[in-house]
Amino acid sequence: MAHNPLTAILADAAQRSLSLIVSCDSPGGRFTTPVLLAHEVVIEQAVAGRKVAAEAGDAESEDLLIGRVRIHQKAVWFLNSYLK
């Protein structure tokens, strides 16, 4: 089976995001910051994955990741608004 770099990028993003959320041990507003950081990790990794998909000529995956970036950027905006 061939190694898929896009799968590796997304798996890394999921693992890093989960570790940020799980590491939060306090309820309330302090939970929001790790979630915000997790969204930022997903954005970073999805952008990297989009570039891999573009280089591979995989327009469907590229489009999917563009949509994910948009969703997570919106979540970051909402969380930043809440924290202000």
Name the residue with higher pLDDT: 83 or 66: 66
pLDDT in tens, 17-40: 656 555 554 455 566 778 888 899
Q: pLDDT at position 83, please?
A: 77
Percent of the chain past pLDDT 70, that is, above it, reads: 71
CATH number at residue 52: 1.20.1260.10
Q: pLDDT at position 1, please?
A: 43
How many distinct structural domains can be found in the chain? 1
Domain range enclosing 64: 5-21+28-83
Mean pLDDT of 45-49: 93
CA angle 75-77-82, nearest 5°?
95
Alpha-carbon distance values, 72 to 1, 4, 14, 44 (Å): 31, 23, 13, 10
φ, ψ at 24 (rounded to 5°)? -80, 120
